[in-house]
Amino acid sequence: MSEALKQVARFLVGRYRALRPQRLRFRGAFASYEEAKAHVRSGLLAGYDHDAVTEVSKELMQQVPLWDYPILYWLLRLAPETKRLIDAGGHIGVKYRAFGPYLDLQRLDWIVYDLPAEVRAGRAQKRPQDSTLSFVDRLEEAPPADILLVSGLMPYFDGPLTALVRRLQTPPRYILLNKVVTRDGPTLVTLENFGMSEVPYQIRNEAEVPAALETLGYDIVDRWTIDSLTHRIQTRPELGRAIYRGYVARRRDAAAG
């Protein structure tokens, strides 16, 4: 089949799937976060910042899937020079819990930055052994850190990476990013189905995050793609594949680790 015919077939399949949105994980393609939010189905919550949403995928996120191993590798490699880490989009501390068996967390001040609902849940669910885990819902309040971990946040963050990093008191020596969702085309926003809520989900142009790191004064020292997570928006498959990527970036004026 020619590529043009395949595109027509994808378009028609997408329109058919759109008839039953409740069955789909991703639907729609919008020009902005606000536009996506305005299209949340009536009767559903919009976005992540709700107490009920804090339970979605919580157990899953506390595991260590294959795509977390590059992050673990770099956290272990940088451990001798790391006293404090800011975990942006860290939820209730899911990666603190997941990485606990592999890292010496007692030596690491681990600060989760997240939305108020997740921070409330995280504080309430803190266990006695989580002594080095703390939470902030304003990034500006986090003290200077050696590492900024941004795992799984970029699809949900309404804005560029530069805006996130510039809210920090001091730029960290390293930025570790995972599950940045990208495409070969302009950035778009789809809606992810969480059951009780629909959440705007950014699929960014593949050059956006590397360009942001360059602007912020960082060199990319490692990068990977997570092929097993590749997907298409179910109602808009003709828009191409969403590719998940990870990056490790070092501040240009920082000594090599």
Alpha-carbon distance of 127 to 14, in angstroms, equals: 45
Residues 6+ apart with CB under 8 A from 144: 84, 168, 169, 170, 172
152 belongs to the binding site for ligand SAM (CB under 6 A): yes
48 belongs to the binding site for ligand SAM (CB under 6 A): yes
204 belongs to the binding site for ligand SAM (CB under 6 A): no
Min dist CB 95 to ligand SAM, Å, is 5
Q: How many CB atoms lie within 10 A of CB 6?
A: 12
> Which listed residue (82, 151, 234, 235) binds ligand SAM by CB under 6 A?
151
95 belongs to the binding site for ligand SAM (CB under 6 A): yes
Closer to ligand SAM by Cβ: residue 82 or 151: 151
45 belongs to the binding site for ligand SAM (CB under 6 A): no
Give φ, ψ of 74 to 5 degrees: -70, -35
Residues 6+ apart with CB under 8 A from 80: none
Give the residue ranges of DSSP H helices in the chain. Answer: 3-17, 33-38, 58-61, 69-78, 94-99, 116-124, 161-165, 208-216
Alpha-carbon distance of 174 to 218, in angstroms, equals: 8
Q: Which of residues 156-195 bind ligand SAM (CB under 6 A)?
A: 156-157
Residues 6+ apart with CB under 8 A from 3: none
> Which listed residue (61, 133, 175, 243) binds ligand SAM by CB under 6 A?
61
Closer to ligand SAM by Cβ: residue 14 or 90: 90
94 belongs to the binding site for ligand SAM (CB under 6 A): yes
114 belongs to the binding site for ligand SAM (CB under 6 A): yes
CA atoms within 13 A on the CB side of 52: 9
33 belongs to the binding site for ligand SAM (CB under 6 A): no
Alpha-carbon distance of 8 to 31, in angstroms, equals: 22
Contact region for ligand SAM (CB under 6 A) — 10-18, 24-32, 88-96, 103-111? 88-96
Contact region for ligand SAM (CB under 6 A) — 10-18, 107-115, 219-227, 232-240? 107-115
Min dist CB 51 to ligand SAM, Å, is 12
36 belongs to the binding site for ligand SAM (CB under 6 A): no
Contact region for ligand SAM (CB under 6 A) — 29-37, 74-82, 146-154, 236-244? 146-154
Min dist CB 178 to ligand SAM, Å, is 6
Taking the CA atoms of 173, 178, 180 and 183 in sequence, report the sign of the dihedral they define: positive
118 belongs to the binding site for ligand SAM (CB under 6 A): yes
CB 15 within 8 A of CB 29: no
Q: Applying CB under 6 A, which residues contact ligand SAM?
A: 48, 61, 89-91, 94-95, 113-115, 118, 151-153, 156-157
